[in-house]
Amino acid sequence: SLLDYFMLRSPLMPFQVYSEMSSLEGEQAEEQLFQLMKNREIREAIYVSSPSLYHSLIKLEKFSDSPKKNQLIKSALKYLIRMSTRPTPFGLCSGVEAGRIGDKTDLVIPDNRQFKKR
């Protein structure tokens, strides 16, 4: 029946993204950011949330070490933290999972989820 199902908000990315990013600094954090920006879902979520940040991040490699570059990296990291730790509905930074209520509690959110947008 319909009462046997539930909906659960979940962050867009797994918590592991936050764990890995929080342990990095300087060039390592910047390189990891470039790698994460190759992810289509991350790029799209940043674009929907802040088109101006998205367009600046596309050009990030052209910036030399400057306060502007550091601010862009800091802003992008804030979005990545949101996408991997907060299930609040903000743009495409989170989603909803469906589950079925049973006798046993066993909740696993797979990393390779299929994203559907409306």
Is residue 72 classed as helix, strand or coil in its secondary structure?
A: helix
pLDDT recorded at residue 23: 84
pLDDT digits (tens, 9 = 90+) for 7-29: 888 888 888 888 888 888 778 88
Residue ranges of the chain with per-residue pLDDT less than 70: 2, 109-118
The boundaries of the domain holding residue 75 are 5-114
pLDDT recorded at residue 21: 84
Q: Average pLDDT of the chain?
A: 83
pLDDT recorded at residue 112: 55
Indicate the number of domains in the chain. 1
Strand partners, 100: 5
CB-based burial, 98-109: b 16+ in 10 Å, e otherwise: eeeeeeeeeeee
